[in-house]
Amino acid sequence: MSIELAWYMSCDGDSAHIGQKFADNPPSFESFSRIAQNAEKSGFTTLLVPTSQISGHYGPQAPTWDSIINAATVAPATKTIKLLLAVRPGMIHPAYCARMMASLDELSGGRIMYNIVTGGSDLSAYGDDLDHDTRYERTEEYIQVLEGLWTQEKFSFEGKYYNFRDASVYPKPVQKPRIPFYMAGASGIARRIAVEYGDYWVFWGENPEQVREQIEGMEKNLEGRERPLGYVTRFQIMARETEEEAFEAAEEVLSQVDPDVLAHRGKVIARFDSKGTKNQQERAKEEMVGPNLWAGMGRIRSGSAVTIVGSYEQCAEKIIEIEKAGVNLLILSGFPLHSECQRVGEKVIPLVRQMERQQGLVNEEDDEFLKTALAAAS
């Protein structure tokens, strides 16, 4: 089966440049619906709907919309694209989360998936001052509660962080037995939770070699697991007619960085205790982490700082390398989000599908999506 490609929606608006105090197009129904609809039309199967208490691309006063609100905004505006909804335990009670996600699953016709985000930013200002491993301990209970409320008529649970007695949540999800679960995290405890509960494991990519190593390492932990684990990674992308034009466009995204925002982002990132974030920041010091892989976005972004930069053919070839490393779903983004997804959909995705066919990575007869993409490319 061909690699699935996802696009990123953001929660803090959309701009041609990041690192400004505010987005050119702040969060709105129109802004987010345009990104989602463009991604759907461009051939992406999934849309990542992120969560953050503060903007990850702009200044500290830039507005950020909640991921559940964003999903409710774009679900009625789309028809087929799946919505991968990021949720942060500690910021929302699991009973409310279970009901809202089940409601969204019904609203969207069974297109919701959820991604638990546990590491990362310091949330002590909001009363969530647990250390790294303790947060993951709570996350494990959080997952158990969600799944119990979705699959049982009366749910009881006694844990360290949550307690329930004959609790019920309606509606139940459209998807059975539950909403698909994507577990993010690079630490040992995050990997264990992914193996025990997850349908997919999400990690930040650096280069195809690192991606392969991460997947091969995870595969060693799957003994006794009854179903396969899917693998998801995340890159930025900047594709143009030529490699030179692509690197110029990538640098242009950072050409209007505000010094105050840069200083603020540095302080925020320094407080992160996520292993994945620390790895990405180390990579950012290198600028280039492989052929056509640029880490410059790490000047502003805490994670997903590595960008595939090159001609349309070079970008498609890099995606194929990532697919061969074992990735099932590749989440991409580029700025501005609404137009770069169209460019990638028109210029890169058809080449990816063509290369898959040429290299025998898919069975053309069994892949209707591939046939459609090849027709568009010809």
Q: Give the pLDDT score at 280.
A: 52
**What average pLDDT does this structure show over 210-223?**
95
Q: What is the Cα–Cα distance from 248 to 309, expressed in whole angstroms?
A: 10
pLDDT at 270: 66
Q: Given this model, what pLDDT does residue 248 score?
A: 97
Q: Is the pLDDT of residue 125 over 80?
A: no
SS3 26: coil
Q: What is the pLDDT of residue 281?
A: 52
At residue 288, the pLDDT reads 85
Work out the pLDDT band at 129, boundaries 50, 70, 90.
Answer: confident
Compute φ and ψ for 153, nearest 5 degrees: -70, -40
284 or 166, which is more confident: 166
SS3 label, residue 28: coil
Average of per-residue pLDDT values in the chain: 90
pLDDT tens for each residue of 172-183: 999 999 999 999
Per-residue model confidence (pLDDT) at position 1: 76
Sign of torsion, CA 90 93 96 102?
Answer: positive
Q: How confident is the model at residue 128 (pLDDT cuts 50, 70, 90)?
A: confident
Which pLDDT belongs to residue 267?
Answer: 76
Q: What is the mean pLDDT of residues 315-339?
A: 97
Is the pLDDT assigned to residue 43 strictly greater than 60? yes
Q: What is the DSSP string of 291-340?
A: TTEE-GGGGT-SS---EEEEEHHHHHHHHHHHHHTT-SEEEEE-SSHHHH
C-alpha to C-alpha distance for 250 and 361, rounded to whole angstroms: 30
Provide the pLDDT confidence category of residue 374 given band limits of 50, 70 and 90. Answer: very low
DSSP 144-197: HHHHHHHH-SSEEEE-SS-EEEEE--SSPPSSSSS--EEEE--SHHHHHHHHHH
Based on its alpha-carbon atoms, the radius of gyration of the chain, rounded to whole angstroms, reads 20
pLDDT of residue 64: 92
CB 114 within 8 A of CB 84: yes
The answer to whether 11 and 70 are in contact (CB under 8 A) is yes
Q: What is the Cα–Cα distance from 100 to 224, expressed in whole angstroms?
A: 33
The domains of the chain are located at: 4-236+326-339
Q: Which of 41, 42, 10 is nearest to 28 (CA)?
A: 10
pTM: 0.91
Residue 366 DSSP one-character state: G
**196-215 burial code (b ≥16 CB/10 A, e <16):** ebbbbbbbbbbbbebbbebb
pLDDT of 222 higher than 50: yes
CATH architecture, range 4-236+326-339: Alpha-Beta Barrel (3.20)
Before 177, cis peptide (omega within 30)?
A: yes
Q: Which residues is 46 bridged to in the sheet?
A: 6, 82
- Which alpha helices (DSSP H) does the chain contain, by range? 29-41, 67-74, 94-108, 132-151, 188-197, 208-219, 243-253, 259-270, 275-284, 312-324, 337-347, 349-358, 368-377
Considering only 217-226, 260-269, 368-377, which range has the smallest mean pLDDT?
368-377
**For residue 366, pLDDT beyond 50:** no
Residue % of the chain over a pLDDT of 70: 89
**pLDDT above 50: residue 263:** yes
Gap between the Cα atoms of 348 and 237, Å rounded:
10
Residues 6 or more apart in contact with residue 304 via CB below 8 angstroms: 8, 204, 234, 235, 236, 280, 297, 331, 333
Identity of residue 119? G
Distance CA 108, CA 72 (A): 8
234 has which bridge partners? 204, 331
Range 200-206 average pLDDT: 93
pLDDT range class, residue 376, cuts 50, 70, 90: very low
Tell me the residue type at 52: S
Whole-angstrom distance, CA of residue 230 vs CA of residue 324: 14
Reduced to 3 states, what is the DSSP secondary structure of residue 234? strand
